[in-house]
Structure formats: structure tokens, C-alpha cells
């Protein structure tokens, strides 16, 4: 009897694998060999014995270990990958969800390529370099020398790595807009696919999509299309429905639907993709922000992807605990920090109703990326928007933070001509990628002595974001006077460091600033910097090695400031 049960189990597994042949993924997470060296050349690295290297966990950051806590530079990761023997006639790719900051990848000593940008995914097609059933040596160099801002430049392979097999035709993405029209009780669902054909000949395929509500299908779509050989193609369709037949994604009831799509050829499924989405609308009208046809004013708190044990490789348990704690403070809207956020954090914000503006890491008075039509920042923004397009929690994109000239004293600073043109060119680019969300830039010069509409972004902004670490009332009022008729969000507000220890508290002036500014009709929200203390080597960091601006410390122990802020944010 046991043998019969075992035989049926094996047959079931074989059938399951054979039925799921359109897309297969092998996780490459786990222990990798690791070598930190700024002295060895790449050729010398390949002559070493990998088995004599240390081992580190992937995903992870080398700086969370005592041995490499202060190491800055080039870290090399190595492991063997095995290509399954049943992956014949597949397109085989290596997919990295994030490597900080500059990554170089080799397979059996052959350079596959380089990726610059520490927070967004990239991949390499290795089909022509591998034979099924064989093993290959994979080496990744992660270089964390590049640093922006005051947050720690956590080094390493910080998110998942996988070996993926697809058929020749695949869905690269499906972007979903579900925009309600409240006046006419209608809903327009616009789906845009990007498809890829790796075969040399034209492929005639069918797209089949279903909008899934729980276990039920609400809308279905099918279309025959042709894709030229060795090319990508875009396809788009629009569904018109009654808004009353759908539930909105609201902060107190974040209802999610699922779009399930397949590509089929001659009855066989070539690829599939599932994405969750929400029905919601964000728009700026005059000096107000409207969410789902209602004016909103929201409190927020920023959060830095940082933890002594996890670095910026954030497990679900930490993400869920932090976001729920931030909601318990009475917050629901943040431009959390100056870099693309982790996918699991966005997924959780989708599920609990927390609004986010995402930003690329262009920061400060000397940022080398802040020049007009910069291909690198466009690439970062394209990767970010492509990855996060379907998240209903994401309601805006920011193209940078606190750009300013490096000469004038505080209070007299303004954007340089290049910085001003950078912001405007990037706002145009963002608009070409996504017309459904807010476009913004975070300013610390808007209320300066020498700023006006000629040297401070205004026309192309949907939402004016400012940071204030001085007289926030004065800075807010000056910004409104200089740049009227648009909503203002204080994306960062602070005054002095909160400090370390359980008794660390908010400055009484800051509390009064927050209470006063919350009542201004043109202010749609404010966000305290910040939720957690975070590791830093930026000037002014205390001897603890952590910037103590958090209402909780780096281990999430609450300070007196936490309870003060909760009282201010939830007293209504």
C-alpha cells in the first residue's frame, strides 16, 4: 500500500511539473561564497579558490556582519548553478531583484554585463551560454562605493536571485490603470502589455485575461496578435464597466482585484502573469488633494530601510511590524525615503491601505546625477515605474530630494540652472511613463530668499513637497506665497535630533509647528522625519553610529517621542 501511495505521489508531481511548463523558477537564494577585496584585480579574483572564501547569505548585506561592518568597495559572490536537463528549448535568464550599487555578473568567467542602481531589478539572458543538465560558475561583484544622502549604503545582493526559464514568447509586464469616473458611475480599466518574442520567426499567439474578484471572474478578454521575431511588442485594451459593480481601494478598506493573463499558442500556455490592482483615483485640484473624489489631509512619518540585523534586506516580519506600528501612530501617507522601496513593503501597504510617494536617489547639493535629460536617472525611474506600476498604494513619483547650490548659505540657497532643468526634464519623463499618478520633487529651497517661479519647479508639479528643519510655519507660509494654487505636502518635518534613549522627546516647538500647519487649508499633509533611527556615517551622526531622528530606535524600542506624536496625530 505504501509503495502504491508513493507511486501516485510521484506521478502527481511529474504531472504537476509537466502542466506547469510555461514558466519555471529556481531560487538561487542561500549561502554563497564571499570575498571582499579592493586590491585584487578581477583576473586575480578568478584565480582564487572559491572554497577558501567566506560564506554569506543571499539575499543580505555584508555590513550586517562584524567582519565586514565597515567595508566599502567591491564584494564578490560566487556559487554554482545547475541548469535542469528538462529546460531544453527554453529561454533561460538570471534575474536579480537588487544589488547595491554597481553590479557586474560573470558566468563561467564570461562577463554578462553591468547594472548601475542598487534598488531595482535586472536580468541577463544566458540561453546561448548554457547547456541543459550542466553546472556553471556564477560570480557577482557588488560595489557599494557610490553613496548618496545620510542613509547607510548597505552593500551586497540585497534581494532575491533566481534562475528563470520561459518559452520564446513571454509577458514582460502588464500595466493596469483602473480609474473611476464618479460623475458618470463608470470605470475604465486600461491594460497595457509588453510582450517579447525570442524566436527568429513571427509568433501568432492569443492573449487571454481575466479580472478575478476573489474566486470569481468579473471581466474577460481575448485577442489574437502577431509578434515579429526577436522583438518586443506592446498591446493594449480597454474595459468599460459600471463603477457600482466594483469596490474602491480605500485606506480603511483596501480592496484588491487580480488580473490573470495567459499567452497561448495552439492550445498550449506559453506564459502567464498575475498582478493585483486596486480601483482608486488620486488627483490634485487647486490647493487640495482628492482621493476617490474626496478631499484628503493625511499625517505621515518617514521610514528608512535599515535594521542592525537585516540591513536593508527586509524580511516580511519587520515590514509588517513597522507599517502597522506607523499606522498605529495615525499615519497613512509618506514619501518614506530617497530610494525605491522593497516589493514586500509595497505589497503590504497595498493590503492595509497606506499611501506612498516613491523616489529615486538623487539628493543634495553635489549630486552628480542632477543634470537635464540624464540617461541614468531616466533608467532608474523607468525601472522603478515598470516594477511598481500596479501598486495602488503608490500615488506619486518624486524625481529627487533637496537639490541646491553648494555656495550660498542656508536660507539663501536655490537650485542651480542644471538642477532646475534636471527636475523639469525628469518630470516630463515621468509624465510620459505614467499619467495617472502625482508628479513631484522634494524641495528645501522653495521658501528661500532667492527663489521664485523662474528657478524653482512649479508648472509641472502636481504636488509641492517641501522639507523643513527650521521654522516650519514660516517656511510653509512662504512657499504658499511664492507658489500659490497648488497643494503643499511637508514631506519631511523636524527640529533638532530627537536623540537616543527611552526619554528622548519631540521639541515643544516642533509639536506646535505640527499642530498649526495641520490646520492650513492648502497643506494636504505632513510627515515627521522619521520613524526609526538608522545607521549612518554622515556628518553629525552621534557616536552610536545611528542618526537618532526616530520615534523608535534602530531595534524598534519606542521613545517618549513616539507617544507624543501619536497624541498629536490621533487626537482628532
Q: What is the pLDDT of residues 299-316, one digit of tens each?
A: 999 999 999 999 999 999
CB-based contacts of 408: which residues, under 8 Å, 6+ apart? 414, 450
Using one digit for the tens of pLDDT, what is the confidence trace for 357-415?
Answer: 999 999 999 899 999 999 999 999 999 999 999 999 999 999 999 999 999 898 899 99
Strands (E), 471-552: 488-493, 523-528, 534-535, 546-547
Tell me, what's the pLDDT at 6?
37
Distance CA 361, CA 338 (A): 5
CB-based contacts of 471: which residues, under 8 Å, 6+ apart? 513
At 565, list the grid cell.
506624536
Residue 17 above 70 pLDDT?
Answer: no
Using one digit for the tens of pLDDT, what is the confidence trace for 461-474?
Answer: 999 999 999 999 99
495 within 8 A of 469, measured Cβ to Cβ = yes
Residue 512 C-alpha from the chain's centroid? 33
pLDDT > 70 in the chain, percent: 96
Which ranges constitute the DSSP H helices of 103-149? none
In DSSP terms, which residues pair with 490 in a beta bridge?
466, 526
Distance CA 453, CA 61 (A): 43
Kindly give the pairing relationship between strand 169-181 and strand 216-227.
Answer: unpaired
At 332, list the grid cell.
497613512
Fold category of 19-166 in CATH: Jelly Rolls (2.60.120)
Length of the chain equals: 572
Distance CA 401, CA 365 (A): 10
Q: Taking the CB of residue 23, how many other CB atoms lie within 10 A of it?
A: 17
Helix (H, G, I), strand (E, B) or coil at 137: strand
| Positive or negative: CA dihedral 308, 313, 317, 323 | positive
This model's pTM is above 0.85: yes
Helix (H, G, I), strand (E, B) or coil at 273: strand
Distance CA 137, CA 88 (A): 20
Using one digit for the tens of pLDDT, what is the confidence trace for 492-542?
Answer: 999 999 999 999 999 999 999 999 999 999 999 999 999 999 999 999 999
132: left (phi over 0), alpha (psi -120 to 50) or beta: beta
Distance CA 96, CA 103 (A): 10
DSSP state, residue 185:
T
pLDDT band at 215 (very low <50, low <70, confident <90, very high): confident
Distance CA 27, CA 435 (A): 35
Helix (H, G, I), strand (E, B) or coil at 316: helix
CB-based contacts of 109: which residues, under 8 Å, 6+ apart? 46, 137, 139
Strand ordering across the sheet containing 169-181: 169-181, 186-197, 231-242
Mean pLDDT of 103-115: 98
pLDDT band at 22 (very low <50, low <70, confident <90, very high): low
The CATH number, out of the four listed (3.40.50.2300, 2.60.40.10, 2.40.30.10, 3.30.1540.10), of the domain defined by the range 169-277: 2.60.40.10
CB-based contacts of 410: which residues, under 8 Å, 6+ apart? none
What is the chain's Cα-based Rg? 25
Tell me, what's the pLDDT at 571?
77
76 within 8 A of 37, measured Cβ to Cβ = yes
pLDDT band at 5 (very low <50, low <70, confident <90, very high): very low
| Positive or negative: CA dihedral 435, 437, 441, 447 | positive
Mean pLDDT of 319-331: 98
Containing 538, the helix (H) or strand (E) segment is none
103 within 8 A of 121, measured Cβ to Cβ = no
Residue 139 C-alpha from the chain's centroid? 25
For the chain, the distance separating the N- and C-terminal CA atoms, rounded to the nearest angstrom, is 67
Domain residue extents for the chain: 19-166, 169-277, 298-570
Shortest CA distance to 340 belongs to which of 292, 385, 293? 385
CATH number of 298-570: 3.20.20.80
Amino acid at each position: 500500500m505504501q509503495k502504491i501511495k508513493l507511486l501516485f505521489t510521484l506521478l502527481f508531481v511529474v504531472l504537476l511539473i509537466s502542466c506547469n511548463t510555461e514558466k519555471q523558477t529556481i531560487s538561487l537564494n542561500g549561502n554563497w561564497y564571499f570575498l571582499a577585496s579592493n586590491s585584487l584585480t578581477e583576473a586575480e579574483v578568478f584565480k582564487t579558490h572559491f572554497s577558501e572564501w567566506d560564506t554569506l547569505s543571499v539575499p543580505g548585506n555584508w555590513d550586517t556582519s562584524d567582519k565586514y561592518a565597515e567595508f566599502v568597495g567591491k564584494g564578490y559572490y560566487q556559487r554554482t548553478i545547475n541548469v535542469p536537463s528538462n529546460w531544453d528549448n527554453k529561454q533561460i535568464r538570471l534575474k536579480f531583484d537588487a544589488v547595491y550599487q554597481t553590479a557586474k555578473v560573470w558566468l563561467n568567467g564570461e562577463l554578462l554585463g553591468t547594472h548601475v542602481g542598487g534598488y531595482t531589478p535586472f536580468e541577463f539572458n544566458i540561453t546561448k551560454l548554457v547547456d541543459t543538465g550542466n553546472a556553471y560558475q556564477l560570480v557577482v561583484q557588488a560595489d557599494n562605493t557610490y553613496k548618496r544622502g545620510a542613509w547607510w549604503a548597505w552593500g551586497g545582493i540585497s534581494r532575491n536571485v533566481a534562475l528563470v526559464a520561459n518559452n520564446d514568447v513571454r509577458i514582460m509586464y502588464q500595466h493596469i490603470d483602473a480609474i473611476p469616473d464618479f460623475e458618470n458611475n463608470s470605470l475604465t480599466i486600461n491594460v497595457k502589455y509588453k510582450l517579447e518574442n525570442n524566436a527568429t520567426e513571427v509568433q501568432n499567439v492569443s492573449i487571454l485575461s481575466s479580472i478575478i474578484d476573489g474566486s470569481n471572474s468579473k471581466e474577460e478578454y481575448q485577442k489574437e496578435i502577431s509578434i515579429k521575431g526577436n522583438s518586443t511588442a506592446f498591446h493594449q485594451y480597454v474595459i468599460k464597466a459600471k463603477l457600482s459593480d466594483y469596490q474602491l481601494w480605500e485606506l480603511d478598506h483596501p480592496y484588491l482585484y487580480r488580473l490573470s493573463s495567459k499567452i497561448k499558442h495552439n492550445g498550449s500556455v506559453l506564459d502567464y502573469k498575475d498582478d493585483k490592482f486596486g480601483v482608486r483615483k488620486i488627483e490634485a485640484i487647486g490647493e487640495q488633494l482628492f482621493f476617490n473624489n474626496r478631499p484628503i489631509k493625511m499625517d505621515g512619518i518617514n521610514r528608512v530601510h535599515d535594521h542592525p540585523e537585516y540591513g536593508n534586506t527586509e524580511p516580511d516580519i519587520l515590514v509588517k511590524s513597522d507599517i502597522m506600528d506607523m499606522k498605529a501612530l495615525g499615519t497613512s501617507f509618506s514619501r518614506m525615503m530617497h530610494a525605491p522601496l522593497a516589493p514586500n513593503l509595497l505589497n503590504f501597504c497595498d493590503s492595509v491601505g497606506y499611501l506612498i510617494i516613491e523616489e529615486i536617489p538623487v539628493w543634495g547639493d553635489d549630486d552628480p546625477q542632477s543634470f537635464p535629460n540624464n540617461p541614468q536617472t531616466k533608467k532608474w525611474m523607468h525601472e522603478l515605474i515598470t516594477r511598481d506600476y500596479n501598486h495602488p498604494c503608490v500615488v506619486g513619483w518624486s524625481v529627487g530630494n533637496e537639490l541646491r547650490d553648494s555656495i550660498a548659505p542656508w536660507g539663501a540657497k536655490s537650485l542651480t540652472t542644471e538642477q532646475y532643468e534636471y527636475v523639469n526634464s525628469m518630470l516630463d519623463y515621468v509624465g510620459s511613463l505614467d499619467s495617472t499618478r502625482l508628479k513631484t520633487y522634494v524641495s528645501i529651497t522653495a521658501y528661500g530668499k532667492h527663489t521664485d517661479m523662474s528657478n524653482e519647479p512649479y508648472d509641472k508639479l502636481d504636488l509641492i513637497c517641501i522639507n523643513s528643519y527650521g521654522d516650519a510655519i514660516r517656511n510653509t507660509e512662504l512657499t504658499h506665497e511664492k507658489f500659490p494654487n497648488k497643494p503643499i505636502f511637508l514631506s519631511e518635518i523636524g527640529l533638532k535630533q530627537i536623540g537616543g534613549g527611552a526619554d528622548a522627546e519631540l521639541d515643544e516647538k516642533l509639536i506646535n509647528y505640527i499642530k498649526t500647519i495641520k490646520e492650513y487649508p492648502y497643506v494636504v499633509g505632513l510627515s515627521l522625519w522619521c520613524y526609526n533611527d538608522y545607521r549612518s556615517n554622515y556628518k553629525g551622526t552621534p557616536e552610536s553610529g545611528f542618526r537618532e531622528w526616530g520615534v523608535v530606535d534602530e531595534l524598534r524600542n519606542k521613545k517618549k517621542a513616539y507617544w507624543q506624536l501619536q497624541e498629536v496625530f490621533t487626537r482628532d
